[in-house]
Structure 1
Amino acid sequence: MELSYWELKNWFTNVDYTIVGSGIVGLHAGLRLRERFPTAKILILEKGMLPQGASTKNAGFACFGSLSEIIEDLKTHSEDEVVQLVEKRWQGLQLLRKRLGDTAIDFRPHGGYELFLKEENNGFDDCVSRLPFINSILKPLFKADVFGKEVDRFGFKNIEDYLIFNPFEAQIDTGNMMQELLKQAIAADILILNQQTVTSYLDNGTQVEVVLNDFSFNSKKILFATNGFANVLTKGAVQPARAQVLITEPIPNLDIKGTFHLDRGYYYFRNIGDRILLGGGRNLDFETENTTEFGQTKIVQNKLEDLLKNVILPNQEFQIAHRWSGIMGVGNSKNPVVTQLSENVFCGVRLGGMGVAIGSLIGTELADLI
């Protein structure tokens, strides 16, 4: 990389904080650092043309966990841990709304619903039986019941007659959210460079040498906000998880509004105006979907189309307009990893598929480690 004196001076000299990753976590970390250190030089490096993982590729759910997902989490986490996770997600959503504003992110509080397919062992009876208990442990946080039964009024097919409704869930516009975050970062004099991949780094105790292919520079601190790409960084504590998504062409007279969950959160769909966005299915083939490679597979795409045809939009014509994928960060625990790795190296990763909800809080906590 051949750089001029001016480029070296303005972008790569006297760098106080380098943040790797310009997604929800990285941008919130930068904004929080700017609040704490008004005169610091803050540089964000992003390996993609746009945030590479899931921040610009997610479904735009302002959610904190469906009933079946929370029940599933109680199998591997303590009751206190699950409640704390929900609380962090809820706090993160309020932080996101406060920083960006509901108008900017197109916040739409239509509520969230969970569907249960009419199959054996679909979990519906278990969820209904445990609903009062889940409401009781969440009541101190929400001051009201979170989950309740409602008759299906959307015309879905091959599902139980009742849905589980959550009035606290909402939709946002993911693209608008990220544009507003980027605008705020630039307005806060945070430098952002795209298509820059950090290939290695060395913490020498007083500063960090940051290597970008054949070029390196020094930074007082480095903060990693790379979530699904943090496997090596965290020595395996974070695994990548690809999420495949599709969206339909506009559907005349679409009468579906809200965010919807299926199968412990492994499938999810929503309306975007008069289109349906649908994603998920990595549970069909965990091994293949634990990847940092973008793309689609037949097994997942066929299942998504089957759900559209036989459950979500029965007896309706629809066309698929577009398909894409994103990379999340998951692990054996749903608890995020926000930690100091060495004297001058920090990371905030493993958002467990809840980046919209928890990303703003994790970015803030990451910056507050400094």
Structure 2
Amino acid sequence: MISFWEKDTFTHYNLIVIGSGIVGLTTAIEYKEKHPNNRVLIVEKGTLPSGASTKNAGFACFGSLTEICDDLESMPKEEVISIVEKRFKGLKNLRNKLGDNALDFQQLGGYELITEEQTHYVNRMEEINEMLYPIFNDNVFSDRSEDIDTFGFNKEKVQKLLFNKYEGQIHTGKMMSALLKIVRQLDIEIITGTEIEEFYDLGDRVVCSSYNNRKKIDFYADKCCICVNAFTQQLLPQLEVIPGRGQVLITHPISNLPFKGTFHMDRGYYYFRNYGDRILIGGGRHLDYKGETTTELKTTKPIIENLISILNETILPDIPYKVDMKWAGIMAFGDKKMPIIKLLSDRIAIGVRMGGMGVAIGSQVGNELAQIISALEYQD
């Protein structure tokens, strides 16, 4: 039950954005900046964003060499180039919008550890550099195998080490805090702990319904943007958007940690980085695709043990450490890596399926989604 005052004040908007991750916040910000007099509401089902925006590894990356090669096996070359460009533009958008200090952005470079079984990928480095040259006006990948010893990696496990100077790392929490600061400055309203379970285009407006404590509350808007990524199937089961859990752990500080930067392994399925003198490592979803196709936020013993094994055997073979924390985030994948950005009706648009690259591509998706929904202003 709601009062007249609540109904009159808190249930009617020009735009409702469902989801408060990177895409949702960016969409609301870009729209509000174009239409400062319009009322905008963001609705988030969790206390904090529920997917991966505050639970990822903080990689400012766009794809490792082996991942791009792997994508070329199942995607047209033009599509692979397009998605790398979207990721690169998204990172530029994020940095321009928030500033490097607010992001704690550090361009320490990115590396990829190549095993003996993967050395054939190195033979394609010149081809991939040529393919990506129009985006960067530079060769992206180079051989830095001389750093294997410097970084202390197990040389029996790591045969080659590739380098990408354009990659960096961010502080995920600071990024989201900076986006929320802009949201508040623009007088965008946000409601957390409220899940939208139904939405309809009524022709002259959109209704979004929540059933908190079995009590229905309807929110109305001229337009609506759905930015729920990993949780898309709960609202739109017909879309090809599959959740994928990413498990992560971070160590206590390690004295004299011998490397800094972001690191990839095995087509992007494993990733690790330094955070100060700590190591953050995540991945292993491919070890149990079925089990990790879930929206359940928890870690599992087999995958955490696998990450620890990689730390022990490959990354830190001679350095003692202790695990400080472990957690999980939920990403979204599909039969294609290109995000879904489109109108569902005359008043409802969607931006989902970040393909595990939400930090990079999320702000670009938000920009494009805001442009789509702004083009419907004639309906106001």
TM-score, normalising length: structure 1: 0.96
Q: Whole-Å Cα distance in 2 between the matches of residues 33 and 185 of structure 1?
A: 11
Unaligned residue ranges in structure 2 (runs of 5+): 374-380
1:137 aligns with 2:135: no
Which residue pairs with 1:187 in the alignment? 185
1:60 aligns with 2:58: yes
Which residue pairs with 2:356 in the alignment? 353
State the SS of the aligned residue for 1:343.
coil
1:105 aligns with 2:100: no
Which residue pairs with 2:292 in the alignment? 289
State the SS of the aligned residue for 1:360.
helix
Which residue pairs with 2:6 in the alignment? 7
1:275 aligns with 2:270: no
8 Å CA contact 1:284–1:299 kept in 2: the answer is no
Which residue pairs with 1:229 in the alignment? 231
Q: Whole-Å Cα distance in 2 between the matches of residues 290 and 39 of structure 1?
A: 41
1:238 aligns with 2:241: yes
Query: How high is the sequence identity, in percent, across the aligned residues?
Result: 46
Q: Whole-Å Cα distance in 2 between the matches of residues 222 and 350 of structure 1?
A: 18
Which residue pairs with 2:200 in the alignment? 202
Aligned length: 364
Q: Over aligned residue pairs, what C-alpha RMSD do you find?
A: 1.1
Give the partner amino acid of 1:349: V
Which residue pairs with 1:23 in the alignment? 21
Which residue pairs with 1:159 in the alignment? 157
8 Å CA contact 2:24–2:227 kept in 1: the answer is yes
Which residue pairs with 1:259 in the alignment? 262
Q: Whole-Å Cα distance in 2 between the matches of residues 16 and 145 of structure 1?
A: 45
Q: Whole-Å Cα distance in 2 between the matches of residues 314 and 6 of structure 1?
A: 64
Paired residue for 2:78, among 68, 77, 80? 80
State the SS of the aligned residue for 2:225.
strand
State the SS of the aligned residue for 1:231.
helix
Give the partner amino acid of 2:6: E
Q: Whole-Å Cα distance in 1 between the matches of residues 364 and 56 of structure 2?
A: 17
Q: Give deviations 1:223-258, integer Å, cap 9, x for gaps.
A: 100001112526141100000000001111112200
Give the partner amino acid of 2:369: L
Give the partner amino acid of 1:230: T
8 Å CA contact 2:158–2:314 kept in 1: the answer is no
Q: Whole-Å Cα distance in 2 between the matches of residues 230 and 123 of structure 1?
A: 35
State the SS of the aligned residue for 2:151.
coil
Give the partner amino acid of 1:255: P
Give the partner amino acid of 1:326: G
8 Å CA contact 2:18–2:227 kept in 1: the answer is yes
Which residue pairs with 1:71 in the alignment? 69
Displacement of 1:5: 4.0
Q: Whole-Å Cα distance in 1 between the matches of residues 69 and 338 of structure 2?
A: 16
State the SS of the aligned residue for 1:22.
coil
Which residue pairs with 1:94 in the alignment? 92
8 Å CA contact 1:11–1:191 kept in 2: the answer is no
Q: Whole-Å Cα distance in 1 between the matches of residues 172 and 157 of structure 2?
A: 29
Q: Whole-Å Cα distance in 2 between the matches of residues 11 and 361 of structure 1?
A: 29
8 Å CA contact 1:199–1:212 kept in 2: the answer is yes
Which residue pairs with 1:123 in the alignment? 118
Which residue pairs with 1:365 in the alignment? 368
Displacement of 1:206: 1.0
Deviates more, 1:282-291 or 1:230-239: 230-239
Q: Whole-Å Cα distance in 2 between the matches of residues 162 and 287 of structure 1?
A: 31
State the SS of the aligned residue for 1:134.
helix
Deviates more, 1:351-360 or 1:336-345: 336-345
8 Å CA contact 1:11–1:43 kept in 2: the answer is no
Q: Whole-Å Cα distance in 2 between the matches of residues 322 and 9 of structure 1?
A: 45
Q: Give deviations 1:64-92, integer Å, cap 9, x for gaps.
A: 00000000000111111111111100000
Which residue pairs with 2:377 in the alignment? none
Which residue pairs with 2:222 in the alignment? 220
Please list, as runs of the form range in 1=range in 2, the aligned pairs for 1:289-328 lying within 5 A after superposition: 289-328=292-331
Q: Whole-Å Cα distance in 1 between the matches of residues 232 and 36 of structure 2?
A: 29
Q: Give deviations 1:325-347, integer Å, cap 9, x for gaps.
A: 00001001001000111121110
Q: Whole-Å Cα distance in 1 between the matches of residues 6 and 33 of structure 2?
A: 26
Displacement of 1:162: 2.3
Please list, as runs of the form range in 1=range in 2, the aligned pairs for 1:163-178 lying within 5 A after superposition: 163-178=161-176
Q: Whole-Å Cα distance in 1 between the matches of residues 8 and 127 of structure 2?
A: 59
Q: Whole-Å Cα distance in 1 between the matches of residues 303 and 264 of structure 2?
A: 16
Unaligned residue ranges in structure 1 (runs of 5+): none
Give the partner amino acid of 2:144: E
Which residue pairs with 2:38 in the alignment? 40
